[in-house]
Amino acid sequence: MKQSVLLVSGTVTIRIDDVGGDLQIVGWERQEIVAKTDDDELNLFADGQIVRVHSDGDLILYAPREANFRIRDVGGDADLRLLSGSTELMDIGGDLQMRNVGPVSLKSVGGDLSVHGCSGDLSTESVGGDASLHSIKGNVKIEVGADLYLRDAEKNVQASVGADAALYLNPLPGCFIDVEAGSDILLRLPVKVDVELSLKGSDDESIRVDFPGVRPVEEGLFRSVVIGAGGSKINLVAGSEIIVTNRDEEWENRVEFDPSGRDGFLKPGDFVGSFSNQPESISQKVEDATKRAQEASLRAQEQSDRVQRKVDSAMRRAEEKMRNAEQRSRHMGIKVGRFGFPSDNARPAVPAPMPRPMSEPVSDAERFVVLKMLQDKKISIQDAEKLLSALDGK
């Protein structure tokens, strides 16, 4: 193994034009650059504030945290950590993993991309495999060939995804999020959120919104939903299904979607492993989470259907009783008003014995009013069921 050390001062820009194998960069507080390689050739030299590094084999680089990086070609995998300066990457042949970095501009990654902690914008033109993004402080612009997992993006998001997209977001006011996926989209939002949703699925039954105050299922290829004050906008287009939920259980552990993610300082020579070697891929985890969310939504819909059937049955009974009450009232010469109450100008046509108290029609009238309020969406199904149970009480 060859090693070279270079002392620097101020903020430098480090140019890595070509690495034949894997690349590992770790930032530290020292004003020096340490480069190591398993190859016979290692070039490290400075031209003013520009530092150039080249190796045909694997390259390990320790550099000042505030340094800026311009990386052209890496033949294998790349791992960058603890860097506060800007990073521009052209072509990474394998996987790219980044932890606690500054603004990133990336042209292409042949394999998978994993970013955990980015203090600025993240822009990626092409990711051949999966992408897992966490805690991005700036804007996100990304094109992913396979699956995307995005959590805690604080600003605007523009994403084109080849397969599934799993989004765990709490959008700030004024943000715009635009995601188009070739397959499913699973969006998790907090209960208290101000957002305007524009959703497009693959068919009339492909959109499910499992959210408090929003009907679980509504047919239609397009759907618009406003939650709260609608301070931010989210536009989702899916080639298959869209699920919007506030359930935490679907998202308990970020490692499920980022199995190769790890924190801390790397040992020299400890390169990031391939995502493909993990027992479960991001695609499988997204599929499992989507399935669980669908099952939860179906259970909620079945419960809602059972309650609705009970309400419909109660409404039919109430209407039948009111028709019977009207017939009895007409037989006694009493005109019955809209809700079963005697009208003000009604008088018995002929003297008749005092009729028994009209408690039953009054109770049915109250029941009818409850059901009418439900139809007008002035109360929820649960509230209507409680009121009807209290009225029946028999």
pLDDT given for residue 334 in this prediction: 41
pLDDT given for residue 163 in this prediction: 93
The DSSP bridge pattern shows strands 32-37 and 2-7 to be antiparallel
**What percent of the chain is predicted at pLDDT more than 70?**
65
The Cα 232–Cα 113 span in angstroms is 27
3-class DSSP assignment, residue 23: strand
Q: 157 pLDDT exceeds 80?
A: yes
pLDDT given for residue 255 in this prediction: 38
3-class DSSP assignment, residue 30: coil
pLDDT tens digits along 355-367: 444 444 445 666 6
Model confidence pTM above 0.75: no
The Cα 298–Cα 124 span in angstroms is 37
pLDDT given for residue 291 in this prediction: 63
The Cα 75–Cα 1 span in angstroms is 19
pLDDT given for residue 331 in this prediction: 52
226 against 371, higher pLDDT = 226
pLDDT tens digits along 189-216: 888 888 888 999 888 788 888 877 776 5
pLDDT given for residue 387 in this prediction: 72
List the one residue out of 165, 103, 91 whose CA is nearest residue 128. Answer: 91
CB atoms inside a 10 Å sphere around CB 376: 8
pLDDT tens digits along 27-75: 999 999 999 998 888 889 999 999 999 888 899 999 999 999 999 999 9
Provide CB contacts within 8 A for 381, sequence distance 6+. Answer: 304, 307, 308, 311, 374
Q: Taking all residues of the chain, what is their mean pLDDT, rounded to a whole number?
A: 77
pLDDT tens digits along 81-140: 999 999 999 999 999 999 999 999 999 999 999 999 999 999 999 999 999 999 999 999
Residue type at position 281: S
pLDDT given for residue 190 in this prediction: 87
Q: 184 pLDDT exceeds 60?
A: yes
- Output b/e per residue, 188-227; b: 16+ Cβ within 10 A: bbeeebebbbebbbbeeebbbbbbeeeebeeeeeebebeb
Which residues are 26's β-sheet partners?
62, 81
Least confident of 11-20, 163-172, 215-224, 272-281: 272-281
The mean pLDDT value for 160-179 works out to 92
The mean pLDDT value for 154-175 works out to 92
pLDDT given for residue 225 in this prediction: 85
Read out DSSP for 33-94? EEEEESSS-EEEEEETTEEEEEESS-EEEEEETT-EEEEEEESS-EEEES--S-EEEEEESS
Provide CB contacts within 8 A for 213, sequence distance 6+. Answer: 227
pLDDT given for residue 382 in this prediction: 73
Q: 311 pLDDT exceeds 90?
A: no
The Cα 134–Cα 257 span in angstroms is 10
Residue type at position 156: N
pLDDT given for residue 303 in this prediction: 58
pLDDT given for residue 340 in this prediction: 40
List the one residue out of 168, 169, 162, 205 whose CA is nearest residue 184. Answer: 162
Report the sign of the C-alpha dihedral through residues 18, 22, 27, 28, in that order.
Answer: negative
Q: 262 pLDDT exceeds 50?
A: no
Q: 277 pLDDT exceeds 80?
A: no
The DSSP bridge pattern shows strands 131-136 and 113-118 to be parallel
